[in-house]
Structure 1
Amino acid sequence: MGKLTTHILNLTCGKPAANVKIELKRLGEEAILVKEASTNADGRVDAPLLAGEELVSGEYVMEFHAGDYFASQKMNTADQPFLTIVTVRFQLTDPDAHYHIPLLLSPFGYQVYRGS
């Protein structure tokens, strides 16, 4: 059974990023909101963003609301955050695979990759 999971690590302090809003959208003629979630104290969502029959092949975008998170942590060094929403666009091709998309985040940069 396939699933899509994520987690976020705040590189500035080396800890999980809690309470980050995440929006998952499926792309087609227009973007359709599939799921909205927030990370827990471990920087993960409590359940997979997609699992089983929900995981359909196609192109998706995951939006991580980094600006709101850093503002809540008082980690922005200016009045306005540099990163507002980190957008990751990706393809899911195998409905039986486990797709894990970690985000390593700081107020001024990020790295994302396909994890395991």
Structure 2
Amino acid sequence: MRLHVGDYYRSRGTQLPQPAFMDIQVFRFGLSDLSQHYHLPVKLTPWGLSCFRGAA
């Protein structure tokens, strides 16, 4: 999953430093059972983010 954090916040009018602290963030993850439902909650700010596997 690739999140364009800097572009997202710039499009919303947020002033970011150059270079932005967060610009493009990549999460690599594996899916062990493709028949299952996976929920990936993401919490995002211009200064940090987290992604975790939520309840199926």
TM-score category (smaller protein): 0.7 to 0.9
Q: Do the aligned partners of 1:82 and 1:108 also contact (CA within 8 Å) in 2?
A: yes
Cα distance, 1:95 vs structure 2: 1.3
Match of 2:4 in 1: 65
Taking the aligned partners of 1:92 and 1:74, their CA distance within structure 2 comes to: 36
User: Cα RMSD over matched residues?
Assistant: 1.3
98, 107, 110: which is aligned to 2:46?
A: 107
TM (norm. structure 1) is 0.44
TM (norm. structure 2) is 0.83
Q: 2:46 is aligned with what amino acid?
A: P
Instruction: Provide structure 2 residue ranges, at least 5 long, that are not aligned to the other structure.
Output: none
Query: Deviation above 6 Å: which 4+ runs of structure 1?
Result: none
Tell me how many residue pairs correspond in the alignment.
55
Q: Do the aligned partners of 1:76 and 1:107 also contact (CA within 8 Å) in 2?
A: no
Query: What are the superposed Cα offsets for residues 26-56 of structure 1, whole Å, 9 maximum, x if unpaired?
Result: xxxxxxxxxxxxxxxxxxxxxxxxxxxxxxx
Match of 1:96 in 2: 35
